[in-house]
Amino acid sequence: MKVPLRGMLIDGQLVGASDGGVLDAENPTTEKVIGRLPDATADDVGRAVAAARRVSGEWSGTPWTKRAALLRQFADVLDANRDELAELDARDAGLPIASMRADVTSAANEIRYFAGIAGETKGETIPSGPDQVTYTEFVPYPVVARIVPFNHPIKFISGKAAAALAAGAPVIAKPGEQTSLSALRLAELVKDLFPAGVFNIITGSGAKAGAALSAHPDVPRVAFTGSVPTGSRIMEAGSAAIKHVSLELGGKNPMVVFPDADAEKAAVASVAAMNFARSMGQSCGSTSRVFVHRDIKDRFVAALVKRLSELKVGDPMQDDTDMGPVAFRGHYEKVVRYVQSGIDEGATLAYGGKRPEGLDTGYFIQPTAFTGVTMDMTIAQEEIFGPVVSVLDWDDYDELLDQVNHPELGLTGNIWTRDISQALRMARHIDSGYISINGTGKRPTGAPFGGFRQSGIGKESSVDELLSYGRQKSVTITL
């Protein structure tokens, strides 16, 4: 399958890069180029910013009910084109097509959620005494940059634009350079939906287009999802202009299994919480460190290995495939290095760690589990962002309390126990932004999501995110 070269969406028009630059799009299953994408320049970014600025007054002044109606149409477009968009992501990113259909549906639901709460962009009155009236009003930012990573291409480029659009802020969205084909098809599909300049989609390298967008002086609000190093650079780029920057970054997330837990159920849940079968572990919320009490460790590991052996690794275009390849060559090589470091540093490879038999082409890695992992090992300290889970033993509660909050990342956590008091104490102790108890990390619509410490700033997927795309103005009238 060859994908035609499509244009970016800037000011209501589909355009190439101003200098004609393009990047190749590679299918990680076949290692072959399947398309190209515009490599936006700083001038292209500037045109998108100017368009968003120009239309900001019109969009912020549009009644919220009309904005909500357009967002619902946006969601309908996703639903109507679900299969095509899912196929693009399966081919471009190697993600299983069944999961990608679910991603399109999830994005449509997120857009409808924000359409439903768009009216929360309201003010309030403040008691001011008999001679004054004080009120507040919500003032949307004139431009929002929404920069998203490679791991959920269509879900992120569409769903993560919804809150800002609902709030009345024009958006310039940029997908990960490795997985941009579905974003460019989306640009074609929504070209005439919003007023020109309200929703812009640019593609290209992070070092060029992403850096120009995050540093542009006329972009006061930047929301980024991705790695800690890139998030740090975006904060630095925005510091001179005192930008409002929110970050949803990586995690080295702990799952704690107490001795009273059902070891087999917890093991199955750990595979789901690692997102092996959804995104090959390429998820910031994956619980990649599992602290299992020594009394039930053997049963847990046996059940873990059994569940991993049941996962089908193969062609992401097949409906029964659980795991495809990781997204691109550089990432594959990084994950392989982490697996080797685990072996070299003395961890026990309980399952996987190799290329699956019969898959000689493509960036495939078996689902991988290490046991005997200690906190001084690289695989216990650094985010791998791939299909690798580490099992750590514990029997000293105080030592466990110290270990779960290292390293300095705090996005999610997962706790398995039958003792609710014990679960709540641990939930309060884990210094992370989202905690699941006896679950897999699946979040209900509207639950605020975001990290503590180096895992980020701000909340997403909630009314908190909606309100973050505007400022509060106070007005006092003296009678």
Closest to 278 measured CA to CA, from 351, 192, 387: 387
φ/ψ of residue 90, rounded to 5: -65, -40
Residue 192, classified by CB atoms within 10 Å of its CB into exposed (0-12), middle (13-18) or buried (19+), is: exposed
Contact 28, 363 (CB under 8 A): yes
- Annotated active-site residue 236? The verdict is no
Among 284, 383, 460, 465, the one annotated catalytic: 284
Peptide bond into 316 cis (omega under 30): no
> What are the backbone angles phi and psi of residue 79, rounded to the nearest 5°?
-60, -40
To 5 degrees, how large is the angle CA 408–CA 414–CA 419? Answer: 125
* Among 110, 248, 383, 460, the one annotated catalytic: 248
First to last CA, the chain: 70
284 tagged catalytic: yes
Amino acid present at 13 = Q
Those residues with Cβ within 8 angstroms of residue 147's Cβ, 6 or more apart along the chain or in another chain: 173, 174, 206, 210, 213, 214, 222, 223, 224, 225, 226, 234
Nearest-Å Rg of the Cα atoms of the chain is 23
CB hemisphere CA count around 209 (13 angstroms): 32
**Percent helix, strand and coil across the chain, each to the nearest 5:** 40, 20, 40
Catalytic machinery residues: 248, 284
